[in-house]
């Protein structure tokens, strides 16, 4: 089954979404191909639409962007900042693909693939290639299994600039901040890995 890859996010049963992990704009053809083979629309993280401008601004998913309420969300190279996660909280199934095994998105995904997008995306597209796609029928929303999660016993901190959430259980491995490092023990020169905001621009939260 297939749909137009430009189908509005809110109306799509399936979405293949892209983050900064895709690298150069020429790599977007891998996202487009996967979306076609998965019968999905294309979405993105906020930086991809707003800063990189790989997609129109109405394609980004997040708290201040589009909300996805469908059955399958495939997050490709998306770290999983709190702002983005707010836009997919009603997704039935979330699949995350990221080369960083400590990316926050994996804590919110039903299935995770740790690997290079340049290798993984062509493999997925080939596996889903069934030839010419038939028009998809109207979406039937599937229910997401309810699994109660224990709330952390420590405060988390959210960037006021982009919504990135620093979780001490994960740290910031890409910037040499080990898992388990509390926000208070972060170096003074540490900045938001998503938008570069200063440490002083983070807000405490328990949500």
Q: What is the mean pLDDT of residues 181-199?
A: 91
H/E stretch holding 84 reads: helix 82-85
pTM: 0.71
Give residue 51's pLDDT.
Answer: 93
Distances from the Cα of 164 to the Cα of 9, 48, 153, 199, angstroms: 22, 15, 19, 12
d(CA 92, CA 73): 8
d(CA 47, CA 142): 30
d(CA 68, CA 32): 18
Q: What is the mean pLDDT of residues 15-40?
A: 96
Band (205; pLDDT cuts 50, 70, 90) = confident
Distances from the Cα of 68 to the Cα of 49, 118, 168, 193, angstroms: 16, 25, 28, 25
Q: What is the mean pLDDT of residues 147-172?
A: 76
User: Across all residues in the chain, what is the average pLDDT?
Assistant: 90
Mind listing the pLDDT tens digit for each residue in 74-103? 999 999 888 899 999 999 999 999 998 888
Most distant CA atoms of the chain, gap in Å = 55
Band (206; pLDDT cuts 50, 70, 90) = low
Give residue 147's pLDDT.
Answer: 54
- Report whether pLDDT(48) > 70: yes
Mind listing the pLDDT tens digit for each residue in 119-159? 999 999 999 998 888 888 888 888 766 554 555 567 778 88
d(CA 13, CA 9): 8
**Percentage with pLDDT > 70 across the chain:** 94
């Amino acid at each position: 089954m297939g749909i137009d890859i430009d189908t509005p996010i809110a109306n799509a049963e399936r979405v293949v979404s892209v983050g900064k992990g895709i690298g150069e704009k020429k790599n977007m053809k891998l996202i487009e191909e996967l979306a076609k083979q998965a019968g999905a629309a294309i979405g993105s993280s906020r930086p991809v639409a707003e800063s990189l401008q790989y997609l129109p601004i109405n394609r980004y998913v997040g708290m201040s962007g589009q909300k996805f309420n469908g059955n399958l969300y495939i997050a490709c190279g998306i770290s999983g900042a709190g702002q983005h996660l707010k836009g997919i909280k009603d997704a039935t199934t979330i699949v995350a693909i990221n080369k960083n095994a400590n990316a926050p998105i994996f804590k919110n995904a039903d299935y995770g693939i740790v690997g290079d997008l340049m290798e993984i995306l062509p493999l997925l597209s080939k596996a889903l290639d069934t030839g010419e796609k038939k028009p998809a029928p109207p979406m039937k929303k599937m229910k997401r299994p309810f699994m109660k999660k224990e709330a952390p016993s420590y405060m988390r901190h959210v960037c006021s600039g982009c919504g990135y959430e620093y979780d001490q259980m994960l740290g910031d491995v890409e910037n040499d901040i080990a898992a388990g490092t509390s926000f208070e023990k972060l170096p003074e020169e540490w900045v938001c890995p998503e938008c570069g905001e200063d440490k002083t621009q983070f807000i405490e939260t328990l949500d």
